[in-house]
Amino acid sequence: MKLRRVAAYAAVFVLWGGSYFAIRILVHAIPPVLAAAVRYSASGLLLLLLGFCRHHPPLPTLRQLWHCALTGASLIFLVFAPVFWAETRVASWVVAVLTSTNFLWTYLGESLILRTQRLRPVMLSLLALGLAGIFCLSKTSSSQEQPVSLIAIAAILFSSFSWSMSAIALKRIDLPESYLQTGGFQMVFAGALLGILSCMLSEWRHLPALASLRSTPVIWSMLYLVVGGSTIAFAAFHWLIRREPASRIASSSYINPIVALLIGITVGHERISSQQLAGATAILASVVLTWFLFNRSGSSASRRTDQGAAFTLDAIDRPVA
């Protein structure tokens, strides 16, 4: 059992952390929204197949299907369309670090909207630290370096904020009993919306030659995202949710970006300036400290479980990726 737990944590931390670099490879060969549509459609169908073969769950009601469509649109479509697009313009580790700010927005939402957390001065200082890190991340230390796309950074922050607000608003809706069924339908609905958006953007006109699509890096990246990120890591996450403290599992929100940063720099040879490193450190520090103080604030066990569950869809690349 101990070995199984270690393997599950490794899947959640490493497979989701590596998803950002796999997305980067994919979107440099396939138009980004189309790549996201294929990834989530295939992942959703695979999860549904696994769910029906392993557990034989009852068929979802029309209400549950509608809720899956709603959460698929708000927690996947609105979130990962900007993420996939942003990866064509900024390094994968930048996307991963900025995405981790969802924990900060979630805390703000629970403090200002749900009123389930008390907004304390120390938390405000940590939010200010995160914002300062975002500013440093958007800067380069030399005029000769290529500037970071501010539009891409805004798109990533929008996706992170959108996920947090949607997760807060949709926490208590009725979903299918099987997490494989829930995740599968959410991804299928999101994949359909992404496909429609891709057609509206006429991305099919920008498809490369067939030989490029059949290249080894592109095929392996898609397989990694579908099988590794959206199936193995997703199942491992839910296996851990039933056996481990939710607060411990939610630590993936800052471990995944660290893994993504290391992979992006070492494997992808992505550049990072000293100023950007300081910015990334400030963002991750604010997330880690907010997470630590949040779990010491005396919130109820049920609320911690909800918080841990809220990270499910965020961590599909991560999750999220």
Q: Is the residue at 319 inside a domain?
A: no
Task: Produce one character per residue of 130-155: b if its CB has 16 or more CB atoms within 10 Å, e if not.
Answer: beebbebbbeeeeeeeeebbeebbeb
Q: Both tokens of residue 299?
A: 């919130």
pLDDT value for 147: 64
Quote the number of domains for the chain. 1
Render pLDDT for 296-308 as a digit per residue (tens, 0 to 9). Answer: 664 444 443 443 3
pLDDT value for 314: 37
pLDDT value for 262: 94
Which DSSP helix (H) or strand (E) runs through 131? helix 121-137
Q: Is the residue at 288 inside a domain?
A: yes
Q: Which residue is it, tokens 């900007």?
A: 82
**Within the chain, which residues score under 50 in pLDDT?**
141-144, 298-319
Dist CA 14 CA 206 (whole Å): 32
pTM, to two decimals: 0.85
Dist CA 40 CA 58 (whole Å): 23
Q: Is the residue at 320 inside a domain?
A: no
Q: Counting every residue, how long is the chain?
A: 321
Q: What is the mean pLDDT of the chain?
A: 83
Q: Is the residue at 208 inside a domain?
A: yes
Q: Which domain holds residue 238?
A: 2-314
Render pLDDT for 58-106 as a digit per residue (tens, 0 to 9). Answer: 889 999 999 999 999 998 999 999 999 999 999 999 999 999 888 788 8
